Amino acid sequence: MSETVASIQTWLAVPMDRDVSEAIERLRRAPDVQQVAVMPDVHLSADVCIGVVVATSTLIYPQAVGGDIGCGMLAVALDVEAAALRSPRVAGQVLAAVSRAVPPCRRNRGEVLSQPGELSSVSLSNESLESVRRREGPIEFGTLGSGNHFIEMQAGDDGRLWLMVHSGSRALGQAIRDHHLARAQPVTGGLRALEAVSDAGADYLNDASWARRFADASRHAIAGQLGHVLAGALGARVCWETLITTDHNHVMLERHGGRDLWVHRKGAMSARLGESGVLPGSMGTLSFHIEGRGIEEALCSSAHGAGRALSRTAARGKVTEREFRKQMEGVWYDSRRAAKLRDEAPSAYKDIRAVLRAQRDLVKVTRTLRPVLNYKGV
């Protein structure tokens, strides 16, 4: 029997390097993979590259979602101008208050935030996962995470202050991925799969869906905490009617080309016709609000950000603290953390404008935002 190779479409800002190309070729030859779309922010990651969309008909690939299930973006406007953060004194007060209101890792058990009732109304598929949820869920809900997760205050086209939050499902998503990968069947190239209609597949889909809701609710909780911070520091009010929220690590049953397909997105967001999204650059460059064009060849998807140009190790070796400070000129951040933030330097990421040009047929820009203040956990 001849090997079936899935169709592939690419939207590239720069040519793929060899490791990325080989990883994607292994993926498109995996069982039941029907279609692959490669976004312009594609870069190497474990098992399945970030910036890739995979469609299957019967199999679920947890590695094509990753461990930070439901990781995504929230954007919302405030009723003040970005100029309210012009003063170094005010910016310093806001940074300090943000770090107290939104811990990067865990909350003290006496300071946990209330979770929506819908999160507790759904049971996870296994008692070990329930144990992780009871232990980690309360203290990680409403926390930021490290790495590329961030809180940013931004100036919109009209000078209005906007808030952007990037965070995910924290330890719970990783526990869900690891638990279900152990139950999945090896297929090819180091990948493991679950039959969607099997008990194991249904359990994974249940748990992954819960992790998406947890991550989304956590971002809302973070924004709520930041609303209190900005009300106190700037007299600002969060304008919830402007809310945009999206995630970029998930699997969903969608209709494409007249077929029901399991669409896995790892570092890619849904971009159906008219669907709003948030496309961040780096901590020192522009970000964008976008609207999907609903392009079927891309499985109605978009890049989820600029995408890394340098690995963390390479960035730490190439970007000096002095260079990092230079790249961050004009943006408030905790300068005491400069040495530890070098792997998140703007130059460690692709040019976000090049990413946008590469996918101009997938989305249109509705708002351009300039970073004013950035907070990352390290």
pLDDT in tens, 160-187: 999 999 999 999 999 999 999 999 999 9
How far is the C-alpha of 181 from the C-alpha of 297, rounded, in Å? 29
pLDDT for 189: 87
Give me the phi and psi of 313, to 5 degrees please: -65, -45
pLDDT, position 4: 75
- Using alpha carbons, select from 162, 159, 140 the residue that is nearest to residue 74: 162
Distance (Å, rounded) from C-alpha 332 to C-alpha 261?
Answer: 44
Q: Is 9 helix (H, G, I), strand (E, B) or coil?
A: strand
Q: Mind listing the pLDDT tens digit for each residue in 354-364?
A: 999 999 999 99
Is 304 part of the annotated catalytic residue set? yes
The reported pLDDT for the residue numbered 2 is 43
Nearest to 115 by CA among 219, 205, 240, 231: 219
Quote the CATH superfamily of domain 7-111+120-309+349-375.
Answer: tRNA-splicing ligase RtcB (3.90.1860.10)
- With beta carbons less than 8 A apart as the criterion, state whether 286 and 355 touch: no
Give me the residue spans of the domains in the chain.
Answer: 7-111+120-309+349-375
Residue 143's H or E segment, with its range, is: none
CA distances to 82, 101, 158, 227, 254 from 236, in Å = 11, 16, 17, 8, 40
User: What does the pLDDT look like over 259-312, one tens digit per residue?
Assistant: 999 999 999 999 999 999 999 999 999 999 999 999 999 999 999 999 999 999
Cβ contact 223:238 at 8 Å: yes
The span from the CA of 337 to the CA of 374, in Å, is: 12
Q: What is the pLDDT of residues 144-163, one digit of tens each?
A: 999 899 999 999 999 999 99
State the pLDDT confidence band at 19, using cuts at 50, 70 and 90: very high
pLDDT of residue 377: 84
* pLDDT tens for each residue of 90-136: 999 999 999 999 999 999 999 999 999 999 899 999 999 999 999 99
Q: What's the pLDDT at 3?
A: 63
pLDDT tens-digit map of 194-230:
999 999 999 999 999 999 999 999 999 999 999 999 9
What pLDDT shows up at residue 175? 98
Q: Residue 369: name the closest of 163, 156, 160 by CA.
A: 156
Residue 1 predicted with pLDDT over 50: no
Is a pLDDT exceeding 50 seen at residue 193?
A: yes
Average pLDDT, the chain: 96
Residue 369 reports pLDDT greater than 70: yes
Give the residue among 236, 71, 89 at the shortest CA–CA distance from 153. 236
